[in-house]
């Protein structure tokens, strides 16, 4: 699993166990979740499904891999 997501789950669990949840805590958790998503999408290249040519096969490629495959 991703380290950032595990950290977010840990912070959420501690917040729930303490029992004192304020609006600021919820805003902070939402921001951390958003930051985790952004950092994961920047660090890990997202693979999207493509069907190339007349094939019935679904190929998962990044945008760079797709560009290289279509050029060759």
Burial of 54 (0-12, 13-18, 19+ CB in 10 A): exposed
Q: Backbone phi, then psi, for 31, in 5-degree steps?
A: -65, -40
Place 41 in a pLDDT band, splitting at 50, 70 and 90.
low
Place 40 in a pLDDT band, splitting at 50, 70 and 90.
low
Place 1 in a pLDDT band, splitting at 50, 70 and 90.
very low
């Amino acid at each position: 699993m991703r380290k950032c997501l595990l950290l977010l789950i840990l912070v959420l669990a501690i917040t729930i166990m303490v029992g004192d949840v304020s609006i600021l805590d919820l805003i902070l958790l939402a921001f951390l979740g958003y930051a985790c998503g952004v950092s994961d999408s920047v660090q890990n290249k997202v693979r999207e499904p493509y069907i190339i040519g007349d094939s019935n096969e679904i190929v998962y490629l990044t945008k760079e891999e797709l560009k290289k495959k279509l050029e060759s």
